[in-house]
Structure 1
Amino acid sequence: MSTWTIDPMHSEIQFKAKHMVISTVTGSFLEFSGKMEKVSDDKTNFEDSTISFEAKVDSIDTGVEQRDEHLRSNDFFEAEKYPTITFKSTSFKKNGSDDSYNMEGDLTIKGITKPISLKVEYGGTAVDMYGQTKIGFELNGKVNRQEFGLVWSATTEEGAVIVSDDIRLVAELQLVKQD
């Protein structure tokens, strides 16, 4: 078995929400950690792997401090009561091509755990200038924020929803082999 840890300097975890149905606001979590445990030595097949990560809610960053504070508040994430968001994969299966996978797992936000599906693209394996073996993945998915207790809602006078219920998840991950 080999263990790989997320390199936070070369990774990002983001979410995207529609604002008033006309534009997209992107946010990131600046503090996160995670790992992948891989059973086999096959360098191009990750179906026997499990992936887990944790993001600190206080590290949320949308580029607008007032919005970030609102997201940390009881209207959304309740950061003081629920300081982390976690994910643990339950399956990681190839999806046709060599570089495409479907990952199922349990996402926990505000103490509520729900199964989610993510599309995963394997970006490749490389050895950096320090001799560390690294792999890259891009993950994409979608969740309904209401299902995780993020229920704040408002509409404009014309009836446009301020924040969409469907939230896109995007992660660019680079992992470093530890064994």
Structure 2
Amino acid sequence: MEESKNTTWKIDSTHSEVGFKVKHMMISTVSGSFEEFDGEVKSSSEDFKNAHFSFSAAIDSINTKNKDRDNHLKSDDFFGAENHPKLTFTSKSFDGETMVGDLTIKGFTKEVKLDTDFNGVAVDPYGQTKAGFEFEGQINRKDFGLAWSSVTEAGSIVVGEKVKLVVSIQFVKQ
């Protein structure tokens, strides 16, 4: 495969969402998202197999619809946004259904697997070629140094360790 045949695709942030879900007190689920993110794909084939994906999100853009909680998540108890302003992901392999790559949060890098739905390619009304993907996976937040923990008087864990990643991305062919 020649490098010159690679096509670059950039994230269309207005048609993309980067979200997560985590248990609160083990009885309900809190959803959140990152509002500022960027990334691209370099692909040599229309099915994107073996394409190279790279992604980053600004920690300061975290949004769980609760300012106090968002500020706590930005603190050193969790993401440490002041010293670690971004999380990053770089793919190692993609077979069309599963993406494997390195996720770095708060200076900790771990390999993660993401179930992937490639929703196809379409041309929008303005003549831009777009490709849509949905990614889902799960991480343990403590693997990335997000170790804050608390227990209620009744013994319930306040924040679950497992975090579900739910990402819907539309890319624009460059």
Q: TM-score, normalised by structure 2?
A: 0.96
SS in 2 for 1:176: strand
Where 1:147 maps in the other structure, the secondary structure is helix
Question: Which residue number in structure 1 is paired with residue 165 of structure 2?
Answer: 169
Residue 34 of structure 2 is matched in structure 1 by: 29
Give secondary structure in 2 for the equivalent of 1:78: coil
Count residues with an aligned counterpart.
169
Query: Which stretches in structure 2 are left out of the alignment for 5+ residues?
Result: 1-5
Between the aligned partners of 1:71 and 1:110, the Cα distance in structure 2 is: 12
CA distance in 2, matches of 1:21, 1:79: 26
Q: Calculate percent identity across the aligned residue pairs.
A: 52
Residue number in structure 2 paired with 1:97: none
Task: Extract structure 1 runs of 4+ deviating beyond 3 A.
Answer: none
Unmatched tracts of structure 1, length 5 or more = 95-100
The separation in 1 between residues aligned to 2:81 and 2:165, in whole angstroms, is 19
Aligned match of 1:90: 92
**What is the correspondence of 1:6-17 to structure 2 with a 5 Å cutoff?**
6-17=11-22
Alignment counterpart, residue 61 of structure 1, candidates 60, 63, 66? 63
1:58-116 alpha-carbon deviations (Å, 9 max, x no partner): 0000000010000001110000000000000000013xxxxxx1000000000110000
Q: How does 1:108-127 map to 2 (within 5 A)?
A: 108-127=104-123
- Which position in structure 2 is the counterpart of 1:106? 102
Please tell me the residue identity of whatever aligns with 1:120: T
Match of 2:139 among 143, 151, 167: 143
SS at match of 1:150: coil
Q: Tell me the distance in 2 between the aligned counterparts of 1:105 and 1:57.
A: 20
Displacement of 1:48: 2.1
Aligned-residue Cα RMSD (Å) equals 0.7
Note the alpha carbon deviations across 1:123-164, whole angstroms, 9 max, x for none: 121101110000100000000000000000001111111000
Q: TM-score of the superposition, structure 1-length normalised? A: 0.93
What is the CA-CA distance between 1:47 and the residue it aligns to? 1.3
SS at 1:66 equivalent: helix
1:4 equivalent to 2:26? Answer: no
